[in-house]
Structure 1
Amino acid sequence: MSSDPRQAIAIQLSAHLDAELSAHRLWLALAEQRLKAAKTADHAALTAAASREPPVLAEINRLRSARERLLKAAAAVCGLRGAVTLGGLCAALPEALRAALDQRGRELRALLERLKIVEDHCAVLLRSGLSLVRDLLDAIAGAERPARSPYDRRGGVLGVQPALRGGLVDLRG
C-alpha cells in the first residue's frame, strides 16, 4: 500500500470510474436496443429493453452518489475547498496519477454524449409515434383539432398587441 494518500484516492477513483463506465455502457446498449426496437416498431423488444433498464439506472444513480462522496474525500486529501469536479481534482494530483483519471473522465464524457444522442433519438421516435396515435384517435372520434396560430417569442399571438405589454401587472391603472 502506498504511503501517499493522493495515490490511494486516485486508485479508488480510477476503480470507481471503471464501474461507472461499465454501468453506462450497459445503459447505452439497452438504449440502442430500445432505439432499434422503436425504429422497427418491435413492441416486444421495446418493452423488454425498457424493463431491463430500472436496475441499471438505479446502479448508475448509486455510483453517481458514491462518486460525489469520493470526490469530497479526495478534495479533503488534496486540500481543495468548495465544489470539486473530477477535472479540478485531477489538476491537483501529480502528473503520474492524473493521466489515468483524465482518460477515464474523457471516456465517461464521450459515453454520456453518445447516450444523450441515442436517448434523444428514442424520445423523438416515441413522441412522433404518440402524436400519430393522438391524430388517429382524433380522426376516428371526429374531433377537429384547432388551427395552430403562430406565436412570438413571448408566447403571444403574432400581430396581436398584448394588453399588458409583457408585464405581469398593469401598472397603468
Structure 2
Amino acid sequence: MTPYHAVEITLTRPASLGELRHARRRVPLDANADRTRMMVVHSAPSPGGALHLLRRRLGTRLPIGLLTTHYPSRRGKVLLNIALSHAADRALHRDAAVVGQRPQDVLSQRVTAALAQNAQERVRHLEDRLESLLARHAPEEVLACVTSSVLSRQHRRAPTAR
C-alpha cells in the first residue's frame, strides 16, 4: 500500500478561481482564504516523491513557488521543492562545483543558515524590546503583563466544545 503525505503549496501570487478549479480536476486540494497557500494529501512512495509528483501534476496549472512536506521526516527535516530560475540554478550548480558538493546540499546549507540568522534577529529584536520595557517598568509588571497577554490569546484560540 502506498503511503500518503501531507504537502503544503505556497504560490507566487493568489490563484484565480479558474486556476483552482482546473487544479482540483487533477489533485484534490484545499486553499486558504486568500488563495496563496494550499494543502494536499497525496500518495507516493516517499515524501520527496509526493513533492515531485505534485510539481509535475500542478506546475502548469498553478503559480507554484514552493512545495513543502507538512510534517518533518524521521530525521526531523522538512523537505522543500523549489522551482529556481535558470540563472539561479546555474549559479547554484557553479557554487556547488566550487566546494565539491551537490547543489541540493549547498541550497540546504544556505536555507538553514538563513533560517538561523532570521531566528537570531528575531531574538535580538525581542530582547531589545524587552530591555526597553524593563527600563520603564518593574520586572514583575512586565512578567504579569506578558502572562496575562499569553493566557488571553490561548483562551481566545481554544476550540469550543459542542
Same fold (TM over 0.5): no
Q: Identify which of structures 1 and 2 has the higher relative contact order when contacts are C-alpha pairs closer than 8 Å and 6+ apart.
A: 1
**Which structure has the bigger radius of gyration?**
1
Which has the larger strand fraction?
2
In the superposition, the TM-score normalised over structure 1's length comes to 0.29
